[in-house]
Chains A and B, each alone.
Chain A
Amino acid sequence: MMGPRTVEDVRRDFPLLERLIGGKALAYLDNAATSQKPREVLDAIRVYYEQSNANVHRALHTLGEEATAAFEEARRKVQRFLNAEKPSEIVFTRGTTEAINLVASAWGSQELKTGDMVLLTEMEHHSNLVPWQLACARGGSRLGFIPVEADGTLDLDKLERSWDPRTRLVALTHMSNVLGTINDVKAVAALAHRHGALVLVDGAQSVPHFPVDVQDLDCDFFAFSSHKMCGPMGIGALYGKERILDAMPPWMGGGEMIRAVWPEKSTWNDLPWKFEAGTPNVEGAVGLGTAIDYLHGLEFRSIAAWEEELSRHAYQALSAADGVTLYGSAPRRGPVFSFTLGSIHAHDVAQFLDKEGIAVRAGHHCAQPLMRKLGVPATVRASLSFYNTFSEIDRLAAALEGALRFYA
Chain B
Amino acid sequence: MSAFDELYQEIIMDHYRSPRNTARLDHIPQALAHENPTCGDSLKLEVVVGDGEKLERVRFDGKGCAISTASASLMTEQVQGLSVAEARKLAGSFIRALRGEESVDVLDGMGDLVAFKGLTSFPVRVKCATLAWHALLVTLPGN
A positions within 8 Å CB-CB of B = 22, 345-348, 351-352, 354-355, 362-364, 368, 371, 376-378, 406-407
Asked if B2 and A346 make an inter-chain contact with CB atoms under 8 angstroms apart, the answer reads no
Asked if B63 and A377 make an inter-chain contact with CB atoms under 8 angstroms apart, the answer reads yes
Number of interface residues of B (CB under 8 A): 20
Asked if B40 and A378 make an inter-chain contact with CB atoms under 8 angstroms apart, the answer reads yes
Least CB distance, A35 to chain B, in whole angstroms: 21
- Add 19 more A-B contacts to A346-B39, A362-B39, A363-B38 (CB < 8 A): A22-B2, A345-B63, A346-B65, A347-B39, A347-B67, A348-B66, A355-B2, A363-B39, A363-B40, A364-B37, A364-B39, A368-B40, A371-B40, A377-B39, A377-B41, A377-B42, A377-B63, A378-B39, A407-B66
Interface residues of B in 61-103 (CB under 8 A from A): 63-67
In the bound complex, residues from chain B placing their C-beta under 8 Å from that of A354 are 4
Asked if B40 and A348 make an inter-chain contact with CB atoms under 8 angstroms apart, the answer reads no
In the bound complex, residues from chain A placing their C-beta under 8 Å from that of B8 are 351, 406
Q: List 29 A-B contacts (CB under 8 A).
A: A22-B2, A22-B4, A345-B39, A345-B63, A345-B65, A345-B66, A346-B39, A347-B125, A347-B128, A348-B66, A351-B4, A351-B122, A351-B125, A354-B4, A355-B2, A363-B38, A363-B39, A364-B37, A364-B39, A364-B40, A368-B37, A368-B40, A377-B39, A377-B41, A377-B63, A378-B40, A406-B8, A407-B16, A407-B66
Interchain CA distance A290-B87 in the complex, whole Å: 57
Interchain CA distance A241-B18 in the complex, whole Å: 59
Interchain CA distance A354-B64 in the complex, whole Å: 19
Most buried by A among B38, B65, B67, B122: B65
Interchain CA distance A177-B7 in the complex, whole Å: 30
Least CB distance, B116 to chain A, in whole angstroms: 14
Interface residues of B in 1-55 (CB under 8 A from A): 2-4, 7-8, 16, 37-42
B contact patch SS: mixed
Q: Which of chain A's residues has its CB closest to B16's CB?
A: A407
In the bound complex, residues from chain B placing their C-beta under 8 Å from that of A348 are 65-67
B positions within 8 Å CB-CB of A = 2-4, 7-8, 16, 37-42, 63-67, 122, 125, 128
Least CB distance, B7 to chain A, in whole angstroms: 7
Interchain CA distance A374-B65 in the complex, whole Å: 18
In the bound complex, residues from chain B placing their C-beta under 8 Å from that of A347 are 39, 65, 67, 125, 128
In the bound complex, residues from chain A placing their C-beta under 8 Å from that of B63 are 345, 377
Interchain CA distance A371-B40 in the complex, whole Å: 9
In the bound complex, residues from chain A placing their C-beta under 8 Å from that of B3 are 22
Least CB distance, B122 to chain A, in whole angstroms: 8
Supposing A363-B40, A377-B42 touch, asked if A345 and B2 sit within 8 A by C-beta, the answer is no
Q: Which of chain A's residues has its CB closest to B4's CB?
A: A355
